[in-house]
């Protein structure tokens, strides 16, 4: 290989073949990006794992999965004053509007999306430390969750791929 062939624009980077995505937040805007990335990875033929930790556990919690809301307070990108964002019903309204927009874009509701991602063959896991901290058990999660695993197990699963924290 001569010098010219090694120039950055001539080298084709190796493709990503596996991703492990951590979802740590429980708001609508905190959950969707990780789900879209996991689903997209499978659609491209990559392996994908999802690891839910801290408030991200709401995305797989039986009783909470259908009640995920947009955070309208402390979010400058909402472009509404913080005090207005705190008004009763504001979060529900913003969530309703965003859900409608996403449905138009063919982005499924979180519950359907979780089922769909599990069906693609991606692995869904809950973080043991968070599960213990919130006093939960496997009974609290939707059936698509494969297991409750430790951080060490997560790193084993993630071996040989990229890790994405959201």
Partner 1 sequence: MTTMTMGGTEVKLNAEGFFEDPSQWTRDMATEMAAADGLTLSDKHWQVIDFMRREFLEKGTGPTVRVLGKASGVSIKELYQLFPTGPAKTAARLAGIPKPKGCI
CA atoms of 38 and 47, how far apart (whole Å): 9
**Nearest approach, Cβ of residue 40 and partner 1 (Å):** 6
Six-digit token string for 40: 């997209």
Segment contacting partner 1 by CB under 8 A, of 20-28, 33-41, 65-73, 144-152: 33-41
13 sits near partner 1 (criterion: CB under 8 A): no
Q: How many residues bind partner 1 (CB under 8 A)?
A: 15
The single residue among 29, 36, 98, 130 that binds partner 1, judged by CB under 8 A, is 36
Question: 43 vs 86, which CB is nearer to partner 1?
Answer: 43
Secondary-structure percent of the chain, ordered helix, strand, coil, rounded to 5:
50, 15, 35
Query: Is residue 121 within the footprint of partner 1 (CB under 8 A)?
Result: yes
Q: How far is the CB of 66 from partner 1 (least distance, A)?
A: 18
Q: Are 24 and 30 in contact (CB under 8 A)?
A: yes
116 touches partner 1 (CB under 8 A): yes
The candidate with the shortest Cα–Cα distance to 155, out of 145, 143, 166, 165, is: 165
CB 60 within 8 A of CB 31: no
Query: Is there a contact between 86 and 73 (Cβ–Cβ < 8 Å)?
Result: yes
Taking CA 78 as the corner, what is the angle to CA 54 and CA 84, rounded to the nearest 5 degrees? 100
Place of tokens 């959950």: 31
Based on the shown chain and the rule CB under 8 A, indicate whether residue 161 belongs to the binding site for partner 1. no
Nearer to partner 1 (CB atom), residue 82 or residue 120 = 120
Among 45, 76, 89, 135, binds partner 1 (CB under 8 A): 45
Residue 106 interacts with partner 1 (CB under 8 A): yes or no: yes
**Which residues of the chain form contacts with partner 1 (CB under 8 A)?**
36, 39-40, 42-45, 105-108, 116, 119-121
């Amino acid at each position: 290989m001569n010098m010219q062939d090694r120039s950055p624009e001539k080298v084709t980077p190796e493709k990503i073949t596996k991703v492990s995505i951590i979802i740590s937040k429980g708001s609508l805007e905190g959950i969707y990006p990780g789900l879209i990335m996991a689903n997209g990875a499978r659609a491209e033929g990559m392996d994908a794992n999802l690891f839910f930790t801290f408030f991200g556990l709401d995305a797989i919690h039986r009783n909470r999965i259908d009640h995920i809301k947009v955070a309208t307070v402390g979010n400058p990108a909402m472009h509404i004053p913080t005090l207005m964002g705190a008004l009763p019903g504001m979060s529900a309204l913003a969530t309703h509007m965003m859900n409608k927009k996403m449905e138009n874009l063919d982005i499924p509701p979180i519950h359907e999306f979780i089922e769909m991602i599990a069906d693609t063959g991606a692995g869904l896991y809950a973080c043991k430390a968070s599960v213990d901290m919130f006093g939960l058990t496997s009974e609290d999660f939707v059936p698509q969750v494969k297991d409750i695993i430790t951080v060490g197990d997560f790193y084993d699963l993630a071996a040989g791929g990229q890790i994405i924290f959201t």
